[in-house]
Structure 1
Amino acid sequence: MSSSTSTTGRRIVVLGAGYAGLSAAKGAGRHRTVTLVAPEERLLHRIRQHEAAAGRGRDWPALGDLARGRRIEHLRARAVEIDPDGHKVLLDDGTTLGYDTLVHALGSRTAWHGVPGAVEHAHPVERAAEVRRLIREADHPGTLAVVGGGATGIELATELAEAHPGWTVRIVAAGQVGGIYSPKGRAHIRRVLDRLGVAVHEDATVTEVTPDGLRTTAGPVEADLTVWAASMEPHPLAAEAGLAVDGRGRALVDDHLRSLSHPDIHVIGDAAAVTVPGVGTLRMGCATALPQGRYVGRLLAGRTSKPFSFRYTAQCLSLGRRDGLLQLVHADDSMKPTVLTGTAGRLVKAGIVGAVLSALK
């Protein structure tokens, strides 16, 4: 490839092939030529990483197959620098891409929060295959600690405990495990954790990760393997490029998901601080990333000119292969008392996950 790439007409470059980036590229690629920059060969189906960690995952569709029928060129590279003034993106292979419109959809990554030993001794949820390998290669079952009491940590702890009953699984949270859910939702999560034998450590902020466990504000927690699912932070490239960002580093955008400081750059997914009237600033996650990507795809294809709109309806959790939780929420994501649990919750969750993959095909 030459040192620069251009397309006829307006040059559209999409950075990232997660739920937001891929859906934006596919929408725009109906009528426009799009360059999609992402190092992955296959879809990183992030909402099923807990299954992959437990050895129950499978190979997800190739990006080339998902892009079939669209005017999309996939470059297997990683964006390392954005030059907004020059309308250029530098890739890790030395390529420089010019653009007229850029879509930043690089998402988020594990936030270590400067905890000593975390980077050296804990394994982030993004490296699910690594967790799976370490469990399989262990000489004998041991103790596994999942750090994080939110949705990702709960799904990991329940999936790992069910898949590997010989292991002792612990979940360690700075606050209450499942604290964001309604009382009925939290009670069900706790019943499932108890049924699966998961030891719960609440109000235990991790202060250090060691080769043999954790040090927390509530005392030490022994562990042969630590998986970190405590929180995520936005990809830093937007802030590094000088885009206006909030206190968390998420790019500030307008009601058409354009950067407030650089309107020729759309920022979507976990990397964007998207505020919707009557709803508030959207949380990170597939539930918000996919609609943003579809919206920008339609916008760039000239199929809409309306502002982005969104409202929440539910949150859902996998709790192993036999159980699940569907938590109904208000439009602003605050909890309603109604939940579906057990088989019903599991089936609804499975249907939602299936619908996400179908939407990308």
Structure 2
Amino acid sequence: MHAHVVVLGAGYAGLPAARLIAERSGARTTLVNASALFVERVRLHQVAAGQRIRQRTLAELLAGSGVESVVDRATAIDTGRHEVALAGGGRLGYDVLVCALGSVSVVDTVPGAAEHARPLAGAEDSALLRGELAEASSVAVVGGGLTGIEAAAELAESRPGLAVRLLTAGELGAALSERGRRHLRRVFGRLGVDIREHAPVAEVRADGAVLRSGEHVPADVVVWAAGFRAPDLARDAGIAVDGRGRILVDEALRSVSHPDVYAVGDAAAARCRDGRELRMACATGLPSARQVARAVGDRLAGREPGPLRFRYVNQCISLGRHDALVQYVRRDDTPVELVLTGRIAALYKETIVRGALAAQRRPALLRLTPGGPSRRRGART
């Protein structure tokens, strides 16, 4: 009898992982997702800004793969019984479980954020935000990371009459090079985005945000982009996780506490052999999908899988539809001074986004992504 592999989550990592596992191992593979639609998470700021993005169904992207799709929400994992409980009342047994549930916004650390701020981590979030912004004259984006930067730029470009403020607890673009930060400030100046640095938010109210200094920043809508964590499903199941709820995995993406559980993408606290931790990003989700498919296939065939091999190349940041910033980085993700900006960078970013979507239907394209797994034991990273 073939092993049954259950994959939870059909995002940038989960969907190609399911396809590749079915293709390479021949195992019966079931993909569980709460929605019948594939969410292009890297375009959610465009949706929030009112742009129409073509939606694709899981059935469309899984056609011909042999993967069984279950549209339901996983509510619990019983690691003793090797079962996943579903919101619809059913239970799925598994021999191997792959967690690919992505990440959610952290809204419980600041009073009022859960009640009054709109996160930007899922399709429902962006749709609600789009509706609220249609009636708004001002918006405060909280968070100076890539999500906050992209959201602020997109909103300012799409809605020229909207007053956009970006609030960040630190320096804007702190992870970028000096040239990258200069370009970011030029674009925000052109778009009219009001930047408030070193301005941690202490409270969110219906009429805006209150800074730790006591200053009130008025806003009709507050967009929350101040951090992400993994869902609580793995932690609640007793699987070893880190402080952000990500499953602690070895170099083959296998849980360190439960050998029949793997994790990919934002759900995994993954490191390369030199100790570098991989950040939450589509750029790491896609290569990790390829790695977990090979690792699961090898283990089911009685082979020892090789470690994850990965290196960063760049960070691609959209700044509206007509500008972008491609920040080139060293293999450990630290920036160099080389950047690509303007329309050519926007075209580059759009090509990357379209390629990530194409890889969902044709996961062989993942071979073109930076890094990847090695079948050689002891391979250098």
**Contact 1:279 1:332 (8 Å CA) reproduced:** no
Do the aligned partners of 2:108 and 2:114 also contact (CA within 8 Å) in 1?
A: no
Residue number in structure 2 paired with 1:133: 131
CA contact (8 A) 1:110 1:233 kept: yes
Please state if 1:27 is matched with 2:24: no
Q: 1:115 aligns with which of 110, 115, 129?
A: 110
Alignment-derived partner of residue 64 in structure 1: 59
- Which one-letter code corresponds to 2:331 in the other structure? A
Q: Which amino acid aligns with 1:300?
A: V
**Equivalents in 2 of 1:27, 1:203: separation in Å?**
44
Give per-residue Cα distances to partners, 1:66-89, cap 9 Å, x unaligned: 111111111111111111111111
The yes-or-no answer on 1:232 pairing with 2:228 is yes
Residue aligning to 1:316? 316
CA contact (8 A) 2:140 2:167 kept: yes
Which 4+ stretches in 1 moved above 6 angstroms? Answer: none
What CA distance in whole angstroms lies between the structure 1 residues aligned with 2:133 and 2:45? 13
Alignment partners' CA distance in 2, 1:174 and 1:67 = 42
- Residue 293 of structure 1 deviates from its aligned partner by 1.1
| Aligned match for 1:216, one of 205, 211, 232 | 211
Aligned to 1:99: 94
Determine what percentage of the aligned residue pairs are the same residue. 46
Q: What is the aligned length?
A: 351
**Rounded Cα–Cα distance in structure 1 between residues aligned with 2:139 and 2:36:** 30
- AA partner of residue 175 (structure 2): I
1:301 Cα deviation (Å)?
Answer: 3.9
Asked whether 1:272 is paired with 2:239, we answer no
In structure 2, the partner of 1:260 is 256
- Counterparts of 2:17 and 2:311, CA distance in 1: 19
Match of 1:275, SS? Answer: coil
Paired residue type of 2:312: Y
1:222 offset after TM fit, Å?
0.7
In structure 2, distance between residues paired with 1:90 and 1:156: 35
TM-score (norm 2): 0.89
Unaligned runs of 5+ in 1: 1-7
- Aligned AA (1:128): S
Partner of 1:189: 184
1:281 to 277, 281, 285: 277
How far apart are the structure 2 equivalents of 1:80 and 1:98? 14
Matches of residues 43-54 of structure 1 in structure 2 within 5 Å? 43-54=38-49
Distance 2:254 2:42 in 1: 26
Q: Is the 8 A contact 2:154 2:319 kept in 1?
A: yes
| 8 Å Cα contact 1:142/1:167 also seen in 2 | yes
Residues 172-197 of structure 1: per-residue CA shift (max 9 Å, x gap): 11111211111111111111111000
| CA distance, structure 2, for counterparts of residue 78 and residue 178 of structure 1 | 36
Secondary structure of the residue aligned to 2:147 is: helix
How far the C-alpha of 1:9 sits from its partner, in A, is 1.2
Q: Distance in 1 between matches of 2:52 and 2:110?
A: 30
Residue 229 of structure 1: CA displacement? 0.8
2:174 partner SS: coil
Q: Secondary structure at the match of 1:170?
A: strand
Q: Which range moved further: 159-168 or 297-306?
A: 297-306
Query: Does the 8 Å CA contact 1:269/1:292 hold for their aligned counterparts?
Result: yes
SS at match of 1:52: helix
Q: Which runs of 5+ in 2 are unaligned?
A: 362-381
What amino acid is aligned across from residue 346 of structure 1 in structure 2?
A
Contact kept in structure 1, 2:276 and 2:332, CA below 8 Å: yes
1:294 aligns with 2:294: no
Aligned partner letter, 1:220 = H
Supply the distance in 2 between the matched residues of 1:322 and 1:279 (Cα, whole angstroms).
37
> C-alpha separation between the residues in 2 aligned to 1:278 and 1:53?
39
> Once the two structures are superposed, what CA deviation does each residue of 1:285-331 show, in whole Å capped at 9, x if it has no partner?
11111111122123334599322211111001000111000000000
Secondary structure of residue in 1 paired with 2:156? helix
Equivalent residue of 1:129, what SS? helix
Deviation of 1:135 after TM superposition, in Å, equals 2.1
2:374 corresponds in structure 1 to: none
Secondary structure (helix, strand or coil) at the match of 2:309 reads coil
Deviation at 1:55, TM superposition (A): 1.2
Deviation at 1:114, TM superposition (A): 2.2
Q: What amino acid sits opposite 2:349 in the alignment? A: K
Shift of 1:59: 2.9
Q: Using a 3 Å threshold, how does the CA distance of structure 1 residues 57 and 300 change in structure 2: closer, same or farther?
A: farther
Contact 2:251 2:273 in 1 (8 A): no
Structure-1 separation of matches of 2:62 and 2:91: 23
Residue 38 of structure 2 aligns to a residue whose secondary structure is coil
Q: Secondary structure at the match of 2:37?
A: coil
- 1:79 matches 2:74: yes
TM-score by length of 1: 0.94
Does the aligned pair in 2 maintain the 1:32–1:71 contact within 8 Å? Answer: no
Please say if 1:18 is aligned against 2:11: yes
Q: Distance in 2 between matches of 1:199 and 1:273?
A: 35
8 Å CA contact 1:278–1:332 kept in 2: the answer is: no
SS at match of 1:247: coil
Shift of 1:279: 6.0
212-221 vs 150-159, greater mean Cα deviation: 212-221
